[in-house]
Structures are given as structure tokens and as C-alpha cells.
Amino acid sequence: MDQHYAHYGATCNVPHPIYYITPTPPPRRSKLRFIHAFLGALGLLWLTHHLFHRHHWHRHRHRDWDWDIHMDIEGLDHDADGCAVWDTYDSPSGHSHTLNTTSSTYTLAIPLSSERFHFASWGPIDKSTFEVVPVESDEAQVVVEVNVVKDVYNGARVCALPSRGERETYGSPRRDQPYPSEDWPAFSIKVFIPLTKHQQRLGSFETRLGQFEHTFPDLSMINFSRLSVAAANVPMVFKDVVADTISATNANGAIEGKLTGATEVSVKTANAPIEGEVTLTGSGAVRASNVNSPMTLAIQLKSGDFYPRPDYHLELTNAKAPISARIASQPLNSGFFLKASTVMGDTNVYLNAAFQGDFKLSNMFNPPIVELRNKQDPSGEGRERYLRFAKRGSTTTGSVQWGRGEHAPGNVDMSNVGGSIGLYLE
């Protein structure tokens, strides 16, 4: 332990000591306002000295908080005059520690009660990692450890900005002489979240990161108000995450795992597989989209004792690759609405026995398959299952229900060009 680092609430159960690498600089605004704003908890990885007008703190001896935020990122919805930079520590002995081409680690802590935990990247970044790590700790804080694993030009910055709002926009900094990708900075980020023995409720957890591989372990004991993650060219893995709403967006990177949302789950990528289990715990929507790579989902629909009946809306799209979706569970007497479309790829949907309603299957070149696999009434009342369908041109329409009484609404609309359609009534 370096005696010059300021201790920040480390406990013996936290895998790494918790420090501020530099003392938090006083901002231009009042201390109370800074503390209030910092509770917004936006951690920003700010790259390249172009964002700081190519100045260096150790050359000009400016205060860290005097660096102006580059005009290119005015779209970033923050609440600060400048960037509080955790990249230099001056000890009383006169020694200093700054970013360089060797690995450097920086740590900061965010109150667990924060309404928002937001992590964003700026500028060109090489392949990096972002990992959430559950820990046993008595401290009500989320600890962020940033390891700068590559920084050839000493241009990486780690900043903390107070945040506001829900959306940010990003761009690339202007460069007079862009450097090759092998010289881009690379990071390893770990976010340590304390767990309890009981279900706990936390604020919104968001990432807007570039080439940061995302790894989320079993966090089923945490219910985030919102989980919104975005990356590119790297995989995302979710062992088990829970939130009111979930959005996972990627490009050229796989998305896999278990996602449980109260009202909405949205998954989108391209050129890489989507595979996993999606759960809705009440009325809501599931949206999944892909291009050029398979989509394989097991979907759990749950409701508890909600009244009136829950309605579920599912939308699945793909192109040049197949869709396979199995409705593993569905409450009795619930509304179910599914729309699936594919181009140049097969579409197979396996409906739960609780489904009752109409279906429409449109295929330009191949006749759809409709298969009744189960005749056992899921309600235990011994009702008979009725299946009707008719073919007209390239479209097959029909309906399925238990008994002859009224039932909750349901509709399945599937379309395909250049592949096959299979609807299986389980």
C-alpha cells in the first residue's frame, strides 16, 4: 500500500483496496453542487490529448479541473465546467505518477445510492474489457477500477463527470495526423458491486462504450431500475441480470446470456449470434434484431397475480440468417402478440400451450409448416384443442384454441422470403 494514496473506505472483503488516485479537485461551482451532481455517477473514459487541446498537466502546471471539455462532445449531457481527471498524483515528497506506456491502474468510488451509473468512452480505442464483479463488502459504494493496459502516445485519460439526462451522443475527436489502430489506447475496467443476502434495488446502469467486451456475472440478487449497454466488435455475456427495462446493443459482436426485464427487453446486434434466455415478469415487450447471424431465444413470460391479464408483445427480425424462438412459459389467459420476419433465413417458432389466437404465415417460395404437438390442456380442465388453417396463395392463415369458449386475444404474424417458416404448437 502506497502511503501517499488516500484511503477510501476499503474493507477486507473487497478484492482490491479502494483509493482516490488523486484528491478530488474543487470545481468552479459550489462544493455542495458538485457533490450533488457527482451522485449522478457518470464515469467517463476520455481518450487522446486532443480532447485537452494537446496540453499536458506536467508541462503547464494547470489545475486538472481547468481543462475545457472539447467542443466535439457538447452533445454529451453532463453537468460540469471541465473534466475532473484522475491521471496524476503528486505526493508530498515531490514524486508523481502519471499515465505512460506501462500498465496503470486508477480507482474511484461511487455511492451505491446513486440514481445512475454511466460509463462512456470517447475517441479511438483498441479492444478492451468491461467486467462487473460482485463482492462482499460493508461499504455502500460501487468501486470502479480502470487499468490502462496500453497507451503508446500517453493520450489516455480517466475522468469523472457528474451526469444528467438519459441520452448522450458521441463522435471521434479531430486529428491532424490519425495514428494506426495498433497504437490506440486499451483499457480493462472492473466495476465492483457489493451484494447482500436479500434482493436489492439499484439505479440505472448504463454503458456507451466502443470496443469494450462486456461481462456480467450472476447479478440476479440485484434489480436495476434500468440496464442499457452498448458496444461494438466485441462480445457481450450476461450470466443473469435483472432490471425493469433492458437494452443490449452491439455490432459485429455476439450477445448471449440470461436477461430478465419487468416491462421491456431489447437485444440488437449484427454479424454475430444472439443466443440466450429472455424473461418478462409482467406485461411488456421483447424485441430482438440481427443481421447475417443466427438468433436463438428461449422466452419466459410470467405475470404473478397481475390483474387485468398481462399482454406480451414480441418482435423478432433477422436477415440472411435463421430465427429460432421457443416460448418456454406463458400464463394462462394472457394476451400474446408475435411478429417475426426473416429474409434468406429459416424461421421457427415454438408456441406455448397457453397460446390461443390467430396466426398468419407468409412465405414467397416455400409452404409454411404448421404442426400440432400437444393436446393436453394446460389448465387441467380437459378441454379439447382445436386447430384450423387455410392456405391462399403464399399465405397460410388459421387459429388455435382450447374448447369453444372465449379466450384472451392472441396473434402470430410471420413472414419470410427465401427461407422456410415453421410454427409448432407445443
CA 47 to chain centre: 22
379, pLDDT greater than 60: yes
Q: What pLDDT score was predicted for residue 162?
A: 59
pLDDT tens for residues 21-46?
A: 222 333 344 444 433 333 333 444 44
**Same domain as 170, residue 43:** yes
**Same domain as 318, residue 408:** yes
**Same domain as 254, residue 188:** no
**Same domain as 421, residue 279:** yes
Element counts in the chain: helices (H) and strands (E) = 2, 32
Lowest-pLDDT choice from 152-166, 207-221, 255-269, 412-426? 152-166
pLDDT tens for residues 272-302?
A: 999 999 999 999 999 999 999 999 999 999 9
Residue 214 belongs to some domain of the structure: no
**Same domain as 363, residue 282:** yes
Residue 158: count of CB within 10 angstroms of its CB: 27
Residue 27 belongs to some domain of the structure: yes
**Same domain as 184, residue 260:** no
**Same domain as 130, residue 271:** no
Rg (CA), the chain: 26
Residue 234 belongs to some domain of the structure: no
How would you classify the pairing of strands 96-98 and 88-90? antiparallel
Q: What pLDDT score was predicted for residue 20?
A: 28
Hey, is 58 helix, strand or coil? helix
Q: Stretch 10-16: mean pLDDT, rounded?
A: 31
Number of domains the chain is built from: 2
Residue 39 belongs to some domain of the structure: yes
**Same domain as 159, residue 273:** no
Question: Which of 158, 192, 226 represents a domain boundary (last residue)?
Answer: 192
**Same domain as 267, residue 149:** no
pTM: 0.80
Contact present, 240 and 218 (Cβ < 8 Å) = yes
For 248-294, the DSSP string reads EE-SSS-EEEEEEEEEEEEEE-SSS-EEEEEEESSSEEEEEE-SSS-
Q: Which residue has the higher pLDDT, 224 or 69?
A: 224
320, pLDDT greater than 90: yes
Residue 202 belongs to some domain of the structure: no
| Nearest residue to 388 (alpha-carbon basis) of 400, 376, 396, 377 | 400
Mean pLDDT score of the chain:
78
Question: Which of 173, 192, 211 represents a domain boundary (last residue)?
Answer: 192
Q: Which residue has the higher pLDDT, 348 or 90?
A: 348
Residue 159 belongs to some domain of the structure: yes
**Same domain as 261, residue 164:** no
pLDDT tens for residues 228-259?
A: 999 999 999 999 999 999 999 999 999 999 99
Residue 130 belongs to some domain of the structure: yes
Q: Report the share of the chain in percent with pLDDT over 90.
A: 56
pLDDT tens for residues 335-371?
A: 999 999 999 999 999 999 999 999 999 998 899 999 9
**Same domain as 275, residue 167:** no
Residue 102 belongs to some domain of the structure: yes
Question: Which of 146, 170, 192 represents a domain boundary (last residue)?
Answer: 192
Structural domain boundaries, residue 144: 1-192
**Same domain as 155, residue 7:** yes
